[in-house]
Amino acid sequence: MSRATSNFKSNLKTCLRRPFARLGLSILVVAAIALFSNSAAISSQGDLLTDVQALVGLGARVAGTATAEKASQYLVNAYRKAGYETEIQTLTYPKFRDLGSTLAVDDRPLDGWVYHGTIAGQVTGRLVAIPNDGQPQDYAGTAVKGAIAIARRGGMTFSEKVKYAAEAGAIAIIIVNNEPKNVRGSLTSSPAIPVLGLSGAEGEPLMARARTASLTAKLNVNTQKNALARNVIAHLPGVNQPSLIVGGHYDSVVGSPGANDNASGTAVVLAIARQLSGSPLAQQLWFIAFDGEEDGLKGSQAFVERSSPQFLAKLKGMVNFDMVGVNDALQGEGSLSLKPFTTVDETMMKNPALRLGSSDHAPFKSQNVPTLFFNRGYEPNYHTPNDTAIVPRLLRETQETALKAIAQILKQ
């Protein structure tokens, strides 16, 4: 889920007046379909956990990475196995990101960091210390051609410093901060060689050693400038116009395996699709696993922008699942302008003041498509490497509640 918060308490009474305002675990459905009354019909906790573990096991599913592509293929295979046709909707957008760059000198790791805008590349070479500020004349007699330059910050822009190193024949450059700590920097023009930065605390002693000893530096600058994201769209053959879209994002942030955010929602959407594949209801549904949510709802925004006004106007709604695997209190937030069918037990809202806002329902809502958003609120492992586990029971309960809600929405 993208990071956004607002005060729920002040809006609680207003929200509860809306037909689809908030759904507790004690949600009461006016009329249930017999298909969902048998608990055996609900996907087992094991199936849900298997999907979460498969996605988490891939690692951080950062949009535009090979890991995210593997996740999209896993979902394609799962939907096809359930009897659905699939489509990959691709989108590209600017996104510079360090995907794990490293620096070592004589095999000793150093805390190098990436300059925004650097090119990627793996480089190994002699380390040559450049005197003064690294002006063009400072390279005279340095034998830097085919080597890796190390120069002190200052005297010019970062881009100029990189340019002069490249013109002198350096294959990469390390820029040492003029203070003990690291400093974040950006390049105003596209560099010809990879660039890494180093704190003054580590860099100054290294420059001194490079002046008197033969050192070998290894730079692995692993960055991306643009993200190629992939929405996974699934529906039964011939269903070109759904009445309802059911979705959630499958990407995660850098460094986080994203079990709760949002393998949990992805698994619930997939479980609902499997459950309904033999039901007439599936003839009215599209299931979408959105990419790029963590970068600002890129996938869902692209889907909405590429959909015709007629397509969107025929939708009864969009149901979104994000972070539904932790915390007992299931929350439903929505704008569905349909007949009321829920009653909310406020005692089920364990943390009514906590509300995570922006998620993939927002672009649909902006185009007046009714929306319903399931989540379980903030939890401390959000956007951290510790987002590795969910509670299978909570996924099943979310699925049960959502199945009933979907059935009623489609009856309107």
pLDDT tens digits for range 14-24:
332 333 333 33
| Model confidence band, residue 335 (pLDDT cutoffs 50, 70, 90) | low
User: What per-residue confidence (pLDDT) applies to 390?
Assistant: 96
Per-residue pLDDT tens digits for 70-115? 999 999 999 999 999 999 999 999 999 888 899 999 999 999 999 9
254 or 303, greater pLDDT: 303
**Which tokens go with 239?**
């269903």
pLDDT for position 15: 33
| Architecture in CATH for domain 9-95+228-411 | 3-Layer(aba) Sandwich (3.40)
pTM: 0.75
Check pLDDT > 50 for residue 171. Answer: yes
Range in 24-33, 76-85, 129-138, 305-314 with the lowest mean pLDDT: 24-33
pLDDT of 383 > 80? The answer is yes
- CATH dotted code for 101-221: 3.50.30.30
Region 196-213: mean pLDDT is 96
Q: What is the pLDDT of residue 41?
A: 46
d(CA 219, CA 110): 10
Give residue 338's pLDDT band: very low, low, confident or very high (50, 70, 90): very low
Return the pLDDT at 2. 62
Flag whether pLDDT at 30 surpasses 60: no
Mean of pLDDT over the chain = 85
| pLDDT exceeds 60 at position 39 | no
The C-alpha atoms of residue 61 and residue 232 are separated, in whole angstroms, by: 14
pLDDT at 45: 62
**Rg (alpha carbons) of the chain, rounded to whole number:** 26
Ranges of each domain in the chain: 9-95+228-411, 101-221
CB contact set of 214 (below 8 Å; sequence gap of 6+):
126
